[in-house]
């Protein structure tokens, strides 16, 4: 089975992990997903992430992302990552200019953009005065 939107699949893995109150989830590796994890970790939505090497039954090795989810309350398992929304899709790309950067939930959330300076959050995009492709909104 081929994957047509790996970022949306990654977001679904994170969302399902939080809903089932898991401490850690794994996903196939890509540079874009690693950058999204870096931003989520810097902004405090996840505890951490790492690249791991996995060997399958035939002996070939490949990379995977191991994401440690964050919960504010250990008893009730409430996550600061309550919603992830995929904006730009392979069938419909959404580009925004530097003056059109949205504030997610009045500044409590973030947007993740792919820009000429790499994959950055909306706060960094405002600081560097750049726009780009709006990938994900997180709150």
Tens of pLDDT, residues 6-59 = 999 999 999 999 999 999 999 999 999 999 999 999 999 999 999 999 999 999
- Strand segments, DSSP code E, in 14-122 are 24-28, 46-55, 61-69, 84-86, 95-96, 110-115, 118-121
Whole-prediction pTM: 0.93
Task: Transcribe 7-23 into DSSP letters.
Answer: HHHHHHHHHHHHHTT-S
Q: What does each C-alpha distance from 27 to 12, 54, 130 come to in angstroms?
A: 10, 11, 30
Tens of pLDDT, residues 76-116 = 888 999 899 999 999 999 999 999 999 999 889 999 999 99
pLDDT at 2 (0 to 100): 60
CA distance 78 to 74: 7
């Amino acid at each position: 089975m081929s994957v047509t939107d790996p970022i949306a699949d990654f977001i679904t893995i994170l969302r399902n992990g939080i809903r089932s109150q898991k401490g850690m989830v794994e996903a196939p590796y890509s540079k874009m997903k690693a950058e999204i994890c870096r931003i989520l970790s810097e902004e405090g939505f996840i505890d951490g992430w790492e690249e791991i090497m996995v060997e399958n039954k035939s002996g070939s090795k490949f990379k995977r992302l191991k994401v440690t989810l964050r919960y504010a309350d250990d008893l009730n398992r409430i996550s600061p990552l309550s919603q992830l929304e995929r904006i730009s899709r392979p069938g419909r790309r959404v580009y925004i200019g530097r003056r059109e950067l949205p504030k997610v939930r009045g500044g409590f959330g973030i947007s993740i953009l792919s820009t000429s300076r790499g994959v950055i959050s909306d706060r960094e995009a405002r600081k560097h005065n750049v726009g780009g492709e709006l990938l994900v909104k997180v709150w």
